Amino acid sequence: MASAQIDYAEFYRRSIDDRDAFWGEQARLIDWHTPPARICDYDQPPFARWFAGGTTNLCHNAVDRHVAQRGEQAALIAISTETGSEKTYSYAELQREVQRMAAVLQSLGVGQGDRVLIYMPMIAEAAFAMLACARIGAIHSVVFGGFASSSLASRIQDAAPKVIVSADAGSRGGKVVAYKPLLDEAIALSPHQPGAVLLVDRGLAEAPMTAGRDHDWAALRAQHLDARVPCTWVDATHPSYILYTSGTTGKPKGVQRDTGGYAVALAASMRHIFQASAGDTYFCTSDIGWVVGHSYIIYGPLLAGMATVMYEGLPIRPDAGIWWSIVEKYRVTHMFSAPTAVRVLKKHDPEYLRKYDISSLRALWLAGEPLDEPTATWISDALRIPIIDNYWQTETGWPILTLCNGVQPQLSRFGSPGKAVYGYDVKLIDEASGAELTGPNQKGVLAIEGPLPPGCLQTVWGDDERFVNTYWKSIPGRLIYSTFDWGIRDADGYYFILGRTDDVINVAGHRLGTREIEECIAGHVAIAEVAVVGIADTLKGQVALAFAVPRDAGAVVEDAARLRLEGEVMKQVDAQLGAVARPARVLFVSVLPKTRSGKVLRRALQAVAERRDPGDLTTMEDPAALQQIKELVG
């Protein structure tokens, strides 16, 4: 297995050139009921069947196998600053709670292969439900809690769940979001009707129950306190879950994940990427509604025998020191967050970063969007620990690009998510010709040669044709997986992501990546956050328009101050990128419109700037965020 003495280039090469031997070794990191008969079946490209013939169980590997050795060790630490509650579950207690949930689901008719839709806030019962599904071979589909009824209805229709697990409400920033009315409306809108709804009543909101369909979790749990539900051994290729990608339009696009490949991929990532050991504590600030929450709140840390922190709340409530107080109290060793969250903290008193003892923290990993150099430098200087970027997608389930310091320690290069991760045969491809770009600093589409490594999507749920056409046929003349992101690779193998292929703007014949302009503007000392979009222009075809959040909102109240700062920003772009990249305008706003996972809604920004309908905004965190922008653009 990997150690600090291994040369990463050789480790990576072996994962590509001697694929079966490499992944056969990684497969030893989990328990198998039946060993795999074949490591990778790629007889029908682009469909990869990993560890075919093997049987295993994700819940067994995440929970049961740890109980004998570390049954009393913390496994799940559920914290809510919204309700003021904290509870730690040991591995033995987690096993009991998961069995109770599994017994309840079985009593409602759920069996192997059935779907269970989970529409929950960040509470322990959500983790119980996910693990219980894995335990009995059911397929869970987690939908972000508070998602709009119409979007939820489309997911209910597509996944066709036998049971929906939900709660009366969630809470964010002290504001209660009632889930049950949203869920009831979604069920009414969906042609598919679930057989039952299992409801966790937190006492936050009214939750009228529909007789014959709705069941109270506490009441059913009480009936199954002593339940013993064995793990169902399933084929390695059996689906573990469906996760719908955010921002989809029309028919939902459900990423379908397998069981054995996902377990092996995550177990290996905990060792080779995160340098994690049993007994460590992992704090991922994401949500279970997103892929990061699936992989690195629930399954990854538990597979490694760690304690995992499940947090309901904001990074600045009750104050901007809340995360660091959690690090101190629970001796967190590994932390995973998003650049957006760091930018939020950047606006607050840096004293909060010095108030707590965070000496247990070994590194901070960031993902979800490009990590600009100014933000990376700020948090690095503040924490004085390694800041490690990483790049991946809902579709891949674990990082494509990062630094695998568990194999060989390497230095971060701010602005780069790192190098190609073992197992991913990463290429840069010329968009027009399909040719591979092998030289340094050549801009191309980031693509992955098949087969995708273990843990990546098997297909789009219920639509193999869509899987092939969407991901594998966008590059001319090649059957190759496209990430739909532009990138370059330097001479040392570090990649730099330049933005989505559809985020390229054409200004008077010059092709510009909006993320490059964002990076430049974000480097200005007075700018906290920025989003750049291309908008239609009758003369140039497109021009860049920047929306910037100033570090000190009070400093740009007066028109003269705004114009002065706008001029400074434009001069900086001129100096670093050239006049062709200069935005037509820099508009100052108090907040950027974002999804609940922290991604800026650039398409909505563009639509509003072009006075078009921004479309479906159900994923937007603050529905009022676009109003200020509408007023600015007139």
Is residue 201 classed exposed, middle or buried when 0-12, 13-18 and 19+ CB atoms within 10 A define those classes?
A: middle
Label the pairing between strands 510-513 and 175-178. unpaired
At 4, the pLDDT band (50, 70, 90 cuts) reads very low
ω into 409 cis (within 30 of 0): no
CA dist 454 and 25 (Å) reads 13
Going by C-alpha positions, the residue among 295, 269, 270, 273 that lies closest to residue 284 is 295
Q: CB of 231 within 8 A of CB of 59?
A: yes
Q: Spelled out in words, what is the top-level CATH class assigned to the domain 8-313+390-484?
A: alpha beta
Q: CB of 254 within 8 A of CB of 159?
A: yes
Question: What digits encode the pLDDT tens for the residues 547-576?
Answer: 999 988 777 778 898 899 999 999 999 888
What's the order of all strands across the beta sheet hosting 459-460?
214-216, 196-200, 163-167, 115-120, 139-144, 241-244, 254-257, 459-460
Mark out the alpha helices in 353-433 (DSSP H runs): 373-383
Lowest mean pLDDT across 22-31, 114-123, 365-374: 365-374
> Which residues lie closer than 8 Å to 268 by C-beta, 6 or more apart?
26, 29
Stronger pLDDT, 500 or 387, i.e. the higher one:
387
At residue 618, the pLDDT reads 66
Tokens of 40: 């990778």
Is residue 3 classed exposed, middle or buried when 0-12, 13-18 and 19+ CB atoms within 10 A define those classes?
A: exposed
Residue range 58-63: average pLDDT? Answer: 98
Beta-ladder partners of 47:
44
Tokens of 404: 């695998």
Reduced to 3 states (helix: H, G, I; strand: E, B; else coil), residue 558 is coil
Q: CB of 220 within 8 A of CB of 201?
A: no
At residue 619, the pLDDT reads 67
Tokens of 245: 């990608």
CA dist 103 and 370 (Å) reads 43
Give backbone dihedrals phi and psi of 149, rounded to 5 degrees, phi first: -60, -45
CA dist 587 and 426 (Å) reads 37
CA 175 from centre of chain: 24
Question: What digits encode the pLDDT tens for the residues 138-159?
Answer: 999 999 887 788 889 999 999 9
Residue range 17-22: average pLDDT? Answer: 98
Residue that is written with structure tokens 């760091």 in the block: 342
For the domain bounded by 508-633, which CATH number is listed? 3.30.300.30
User: pTM (2 decimals)?
Assistant: 0.86
Give backbone dihedrals phi and psi of 271, rounded to 5 degrees, phi first: -85, -50
CA dist 374 and 196 (Å) reads 50
Q: What percent of the chain has pLDDT over 90?
A: 76
Give backbone dihedrals phi and psi of 557, rounded to 5 degrees, phi first: -70, -45
Tokens of 208: 């009228």
At residue 511, the pLDDT reads 66
**How is the chain split into domains, by residue range?**
8-313+390-484, 508-633
